[in-house]
A and B are shown apart, each in its own frame.
Chain A
């Protein structure tokens, strides 16, 4: 569905990406893990078009595109909620930027809020809710990009362990119920084991795919299952080698 072909990017003569290719099947959850500074963020920048690439082509549903601007949802480590908007308005922001909101939009958002356990907080402001709730609201906003694709840039890195578990479950909801194709970057192998259909391990400078894993078992998985623990060791080892 999404195809990245031969992306390359130099910064001051230093190759960050060179000949990087990756294909995402429809409704798949792909997780990229790599050592910090390996160029994951640069890849996202290139995909969104906020940084221009030196070479490479991009295809979405078989059609070539310059970048994914306006074509993909986005969620970051920080919730990035606007403090002057209520939670429900924040979730609907991608719609609001395009057109005037209707009562149907609000109805849809309310339904989504109840699946994300945010009911009753629709009219609260971001500063009035916990970090975990804010991040769930950011997840709702990712849905309202109304794009088949979602780019998640370490969305679980800034929350505590308990919230993390519930957010993981909700991310799976985004994939299964709303049929999104998801590309997520993380440095947490447990996140990858819990969420991914495919785990791609990356090396540093230039960023390259060193190994790919397909974790077994239907989701939601239990990351403390022995097979997954073996896989975790394996991934950690290949991360070490990639440094």
Chain B
């Protein structure tokens, strides 16, 4: 094997190692986020009946509205997955299109959530009204903050793919972004079930 070929192989090995480290490190981060959300869910479980004379979940949750939020986020996870398939196949324009769709759906979800928060706050069901509402706003708001960060990350990645194409580094970052986005989708399913559905069903 020539010196150049050996160097090329070594460089490739370094790239693969960098991919491995990034994916592993990101999974470790996801695990820490699991702990964070587990704590917030536990807090909500303890406080969800502490309404202090204020409204309960059954009274304030608008279920068709929440279902629309859920559909937007589920669909965004789907388009994100299709974007990753396009990235695997090296189709740059498809990647940009699918991630732009994901961004639009994520932004729709975030807007719906902020409108819901504003409505609750202006109708006397704000953060400080009761322990239940404090736990609710903290849990759902933390998820919303993650969505905001994901949207910023997505906008950066779309511009990077547009500017530099589907380089190995960009595909690696897109992979991490898709893991993050699917994780947020998963957390929302738990929020939808435990906070909204169980709250609406008065369990």
Chain A partners chain B: no
| Residues of B participating in the A interface, judged by any CB pair closer than 8 Å | none
